[in-house]
Amino acid sequence: MKTKYLYPALVMLLLTLSLGLETPEAGTVSPLIAASEKGDLKTANELLAKGADVNARNGYGWTALMFASEKGHADIARALLAKGVDVNAKNKHGQTALMIASLNGHADIVKALLAKGANVNAQSKYGSTALMFASLKGHTDIARALLAKGADVSVKNREGQTALSLATNEKMRRLLDLVIAAEYGDLEAVKRLLEAKGADVNAQDKDGWTALIHASWNGHTDIARVLLATGADVNAQDKHGWTALMIASMKGHADIARALLAKDADVNVHSKYGSTALMFASEKGHADIVRILLAKGADVSVKDKEGQTALSLAANEAVKEIMKNNIGFTTGLWHGITSVPRYFEMWDMRFPPKEAWSREYNIGLFVGMILVVFIGFMIRW
In sequence order, which residues have a C-beta less than 8 Å from that of residue 289 and are 6 or more positions away? 248, 249, 252, 254, 257, 277, 281
Smallest Cα–Cα separation from 311: which of 276, 282, 271? 282
Task: Give Cα separations from 248 to 81, 194, 260, 277 (angstroms).
Answer: 51, 22, 9, 8
**pLDDT at 43 (0 to 100):** 97
Secondary structure (DSSP) of 280-321: HHHHHT-HHHHHHHHHTT--TT---TTS--TTTT--SHHHHH
Whole-angstrom distance, CA of residue 111 vs CA of residue 238: 40
pLDDT one-digit tens code per residue, 149-169: 888 888 999 999 999 999 988
Whole-angstrom distance, CA of residue 235 vs CA of residue 204: 13
Chain Cα centroid distance, residue 108 = 28
Whole-angstrom distance, CA of residue 48 vs CA of residue 380: 117
**pLDDT at 173 (0 to 100):** 84
Give all domains of the chain, ordered by start, each with its CATH number. 200-326 (1.25.40.20), 327-381 (no CATH)
pLDDT one-digit tens code per residue, 3-59: 333 444 544 554 455 455 545 554 567 999 999 999 999 999 999 999 999 999 999
Q: Are 233 and 208 in contact (CB under 8 A)?
A: no
Three-state SS at 210 = strand
pLDDT one-digit tens code per residue, 214-270: 999 999 999 999 999 999 999 999 999 999 999 999 999 999 999 999 999 999 999
Backbone angles phi, psi at 40, to 5 degrees: -85, 85
pLDDT at 363 over 50: no
Range in 184-193, 260-269, 334-343 the model is least confident about = 334-343
pLDDT at 69 over 80: yes
Helical pair 287-295 and 254-262, crossing angle rounded to 10 deg:
10
Q: What is the DSSP letter of 107?
A: H
Smallest Cα–Cα separation from 232: which of 276, 182, 270, 184? 182
Chain Cα centroid distance, residue 318 = 35
- Using CA atoms of 119, 124, 126, 131 in order, give the dihedral in degrees to the nearest 10: -40
Backbone angles phi, psi at 210, to 5 degrees: -90, 175
Three-state SS at 345 = helix
**pLDDT at 370 (0 to 100):** 67
pLDDT classification of 193: cutoffs 50, 70, 90: confident
Q: Are 322 and 316 in contact (CB under 8 A)?
A: no
Task: Give Cα separations from 65 to 28, 41, 78, 81, 122 (angstroms).
Answer: 16, 13, 9, 8, 16
**Run of H or E including 222:** helix 221-229
